Amino acid sequence: MSERTYEVPKPYHDAVMHWQKHNFPDYPLLSQTWEKYFPTDQPFCLCARIQESIPDVQPVGAHAGEPRSLRPAELEPEAARHLLAIIRAQASTEFGSIQQHQATLERANDDQDKMWVLRVMAEELRHGYQMIHLLTSADWSSVSDAKPVDMVEEILSMRTGSHVLAAFNLEYDSFVDNVIFCAFIDRVGKYQLTMQKASCYRPFAASMPPMLREEAFHLATGVIPMRRWVEKAASGDPLITMATLQRAVNKWFGRGLEMFGHEAKGHEIVALGLKDMANGEAQDAYIDECGKMLDDLNKRHVRAMEARAATVDEADLLRLPHPRFFRRRGEPAFQMIAVDGAPFADVDAYVRHLGAVLPEAYLASRDVKHYVETLRKLVAGQITIKDAIKSTPHLARVGGACPCSNSVRWVVEDAA
């Protein structure tokens, strides 16, 4: 289980630290409070961690049984292209989640919950750093004209709204989102990291075990506060209700499903030896796991209700939205399906349904506005489903967005 740690070259390290100043200003608080909230835990280290002891041979794909590749040029060009896209998307998610968490971190009403999320954010920073290490420590010129310095700048210039995956382009409405995100979206992260552990590219596969060990705590950072909130909800605490949690679940679950990619696709990624499960298979396992999570939360809530000799209302219990509800990508994209799976034929009725089951603060967001406008155009025949799916946020260059003179761009010039 031994690990080797790496720091990325100074210009990139400086760029990450500069990004942190703008996007993660609470980062220094972690080291100041570490001993109070995580006594005797290994101090946090912003570094890339590579597990040394992983199997030498590829476990899946057309080249299963052959040695893992050590350099991108050793991979089939198609595999290398897909892998590069996966690493860039992974990096985008890591930095993107920090931007989302930071906005509402201060609104936590419990110091421990806040410090747990702060640790999660720092570890996401490390995961992003890990991806930058993978991008900058290898020669990707066989499959990309982009220089490493430009790839790093592109990743660090993304903002909430311009990240690769939709889940990382949603603003948080409150600290409830911080917690629900950890429980649902980090769970997708766990699946992706687990699948990527099978990668035919050794440096990528060996990056996964240390990330997975940290991801385990991220899931606990979601589930354990939720367990305590459902207990509080049972006590009649007016400040946290099951309905609040249900609405947040409705907001995030579909975004989590979409992170797996189209339900019917992903087999080529397995054949190329990059992951060991196709999208639909992984998505089904995720749905089952989320269902178990909500079952456990409901048990906790029911026990707390019973302890008060209160009557449990079945309607109060948490339930997963139907997998086709409120989707904008994948096979069910822009179909008007209710949380319980019932189809709608009328757009206005469906929009009213969304208004009834999504968080109130979220309804006024640009994200819901974009969804509803796109849905209306689609139903009116003004755009195709392909156009509708493509219109969702996607990778966009926002270079030079740094507001101070010592910018990310400056690092690019320094490296050149």
Partner 1 sequence: MTELDIESITQIDERVTGTYRPEVWEDRAAYYIRRDPDSSQVAEVDGTVVGFMMGEVRGGEFGMNEPTGWVEFFGVDPSARGRSLGRRLLEALLAHFRERGAQVARTMVQEKDAEIAGFLSAMGFKPAKVVPLERRPL
Q: Looking at beta carbons only, is 19 or 34 nearer to partner 1?
A: 34
Query: What is the nearest approach in angstroms of partner 1 to the Cβ of residue 229?
Result: 12
Distance CA(169)–CA(186), nearest Å, equals 15
Query: What is the nearest approach in angstroms of partner 1 to the Cβ of residue 373?
Result: 38
Q: Looking at beta carbons only, is 41 or 237 nearer to partner 1?
A: 41
DSSP run (H or E) holding 5 = strand 3-6
Q: Looking at beta carbons only, is 53 or 405 nearer to partner 1?
A: 53
Query: What is the nearest approach in angstroms of partner 1 to the Cβ of residue 183?
Result: 9
CB count within 10 Å of CB 55 equals 12
Residue showing tokens 């996401």:
124
Sequence-ordered list of residues with C-beta below 8 angstroms from that of 126, at least 6 positions apart, any chain:
44, 45, 46, 47, 48, 49, 214
Q: Looking at beta carbons only, is 5 or 406 nearer to partner 1?
A: 5
Query: What is the nearest approach in angstroms of partner 1 to the Cβ of residue 219?
Result: 5
Answer for the pair 334, 378: CB distance below 8 angstroms, yes or no.
Answer: yes
Query: What is the nearest approach in angstroms of partner 1 to the Cβ of residue 123?
Result: 10
Q: Looking at beta carbons only, is 292 or 394 nearer to partner 1?
A: 292
DSSP run (H or E) holding 51 = strand 48-51
**Closest by alpha carbon to 48, among 130, 117, 123?**
130
Interface ranges with partner 1 (CB under 8 A): 1, 38, 40-42, 119, 213, 216-217, 219-220, 222-224, 227-228, 231, 289, 292-293, 296, 299-300, 303
Q: Looking at beta carbons only, is 139 or 288 nearer to partner 1?
A: 288
Query: What is the nearest approach in angstroms of partner 1 to the Cβ of residue 216?
Result: 4
Query: What is the nearest approach in angstroms of partner 1 to the Cβ of residue 43?
Result: 13
Query: What is the nearest approach in angstroms of partner 1 to the Cβ of residue 348?
Result: 39
Return the CA Rg of the chain: 22
Q: Looking at beta carbons only, is 153 or 231 nearer to partner 1?
A: 231
In total, the chain counts a number of residues equal to 416
Residue showing tokens 């240390």:
210
Q: Looking at beta carbons only, is 123 or 276 nearer to partner 1?
A: 123
| 3 state SS of 96 | helix
Please tell me the number of Cα atoms within 13 Å of 307 on its side-chain side.
Answer: 12
Sequence-ordered list of residues with C-beta below 8 angstroms from that of 15, at least 6 positions apart, any chain:
152, 153, 156, 408, 411
Query: What is the nearest approach in angstroms of partner 1 to the Cβ of residue 64?
Result: 25
Tokens representing 3? 């690990």
Dihedrals phi, psi of 201, to nearest 5 degrees: -95, 110
Tokens representing 267? 């087999």
Q: Looking at beta carbons only, is 51 or 169 nearer to partner 1?
A: 51
Give, to the nearest 10 degrees, the angle between helix 242-258 and helix 208-234.
160
Q: Looking at beta carbons only, is 89 or 226 nearer to partner 1?
A: 226
Q: Looking at beta carbons only, is 297 or 408 nearer to partner 1?
A: 297
Give whole-number Cα distances, 122 to 23, 117, 147, 370, in Å: 12, 9, 27, 31
Return the beta strands (E) in 135-191 as ranges: none
- Pure H helices in 7-138: 10-23, 27-37, 77-104, 111-136
Output DSSP code: residue 314. G
Query: What is the nearest approach in angstroms of partner 1 to the Cβ of residue 345?
Result: 38
- What does DSSP say about strands 48-51 and 3-6: parallel, antiparallel, or unpaired? antiparallel
Query: What is the nearest approach in angstroms of partner 1 to the Cβ of residue 290?
Result: 10
